[in-house]
Amino acid sequence: MFKGPAETRAFADAFESPDGVDAVICPAYPSLSAAVDGGLTTYAQNVHWAPEGPFTGEVSAPMLLELGVRGAIVGHSERRQFFGETDETVVRRTIAALEAGLSVIACVGESEEEREAGQTELVLRIQAESIRDAVGAHERLVVAYEPVWAIGTGKTATPEQAQAAHAFIKGLVAVPVLYGGSVKPENADELLSQADVDGALVGGASLEVESFTAICQSAARIRS
């Protein structure tokens, strides 16, 4: 929940994606139009499963499409943690968005307690299989692995931990998998160099044009 329309316009004016990188910006709802008008590939941070109805505070896929928004994140760890998002509602949002024509970044990941209890693969299997069983390996679906213990904490999964989780997820659903969890310019090269890490879902480091650009440049170097 950062950057209103004016700040988003300034970001769009300053940002230039390196060649060979698919860079997507996911601003808060009031800033979606500013991002679209600024020429950025724009996704929403969430989307509801109904096209319309008595769901005050929610936003539908048709509304996003009318704005020129291309996709949406669903099931972000903060939505799960603070707003009661469940595997069931993540699946409902994913189905509705894909059927409407949006692309989807569907987030999965374990908490610190689940990792310490040795339940990482169990949690990832339940979350990833629920999405796979609903929509399959859809061409507009991307999964993002977010170890919840690394979101906004400054902690980051080691490259080996990220690689292991991504390989496991890809064994369940055949789609690209992004890593999200305190990605920053200092660790982007090492994380993005892993065989099964297809990109990054960048949080705090995306708020400054310079740091987000540096991460995109890391991706361009590695993919070239």
User: What's residue 47's pLDDT?
Assistant: 98
Contact criterion met (CB below 8 Å) for 21 and 216? yes
192 C-beta neighbours (distance < 10 Å), count: 23
Contact criterion met (CB below 8 Å) for 103 and 71? yes
Contact criterion met (CB below 8 Å) for 194 and 159? yes
**How far, in Å, CA of 106 to CA of 73, rounded?**
6
**How far, in Å, CA of 212 to CA of 24, rounded?**
11
Contact criterion met (CB below 8 Å) for 27 and 3? yes
Catalytic pick from 76, 85, 110, 166?
76
**How far, in Å, CA of 182 to CA of 190, rounded?**
13
Contact criterion met (CB below 8 Å) for 46 and 55? no
Start-to-end CA span in the chain (Å): 33
On the 0-12 / 13-18 / 19+ scale of CB atoms within 10 A, 5 is middle
Q: Is there a catalytic annotation at residue 146?
A: yes
- To 5 degrees, how large is the angle CA 62–CA 173–CA 180? 70
Catalytic pick from 85, 110, 114, 146?
146
Tokens of 100: 């409407």
**How far, in Å, CA of 178 to CA of 82, rounded?**
22
Domains of the chain: 5-223 (3.20.20.70)
Bridge partners (DSSP) of residue 103 are 71
Per-residue pLDDT of the chain (224 residues; tens, 9 = 90+): 999 999 999 999 999 999 999 999 999 999 999 999 999 999 999 999 999 999 999 999 999 999 999 999 999 999 999 999 999 999 999 999 999 999 999 999 998 899 889 999 999 999 999 999 999 999 999 999 999 887 767 777 899 999 999 999 999 999 999 999 889 999 999 999 999 999 999 999 999 999 999 999 999 999 87
User: What's residue 1's pLDDT?
Assistant: 97
User: What's residue 170's pLDDT?
Assistant: 98
User: What's residue 131's pLDDT?
Assistant: 97
User: What's residue 17's pLDDT?
Assistant: 94
Q: Is there a catalytic annotation at residue 76?
A: yes
